[in-house]
Amino acid sequence: MAAIRANSVLPARREAITLHTADGLELVGEIALPLDREPVATIVCLHPLPTHGGMMDSHVFRKAAFRLPALAGVAVLRFNTRGTSSAQGTSQGEFDHARGEAYDVAAAIEYAEFHDLPDIWVVGWSFGTDLTLMHGNDPAVKGAILLSPPLRFSDVEHLEAWAESGKPLTALVPEHDDYLQPPEAEERFAIVPQAEVVGVEGAKHLWVGDAETVLDEIVRRVAPETAVPLPREWEGAMETADTSAYNDKNLAAFKDVPVPGPQAD
Position 133 scores a pLDDT of 98
Position 243 scores a pLDDT of 75
What does pTM read for this prediction?
Answer: 0.93
Q: Would you say 154 and 119 are in contact if contact means Cβ atoms under 8 Å apart?
A: no
Q: Would you say 119 and 42 are in contact if contact means Cβ atoms under 8 Å apart?
A: yes
Distance of alpha carbon 114 from alpha carbon 265, whole angstroms: 32
Q: Mean pLDDT per 10-residue run, the chain (265 residues)?
A: 96 98 98 97 97 94 98 98 95 97 98 98 98 98 98 97 98 97 98 98 96 98 98 96 65 44 38
Position 46 scores a pLDDT of 98
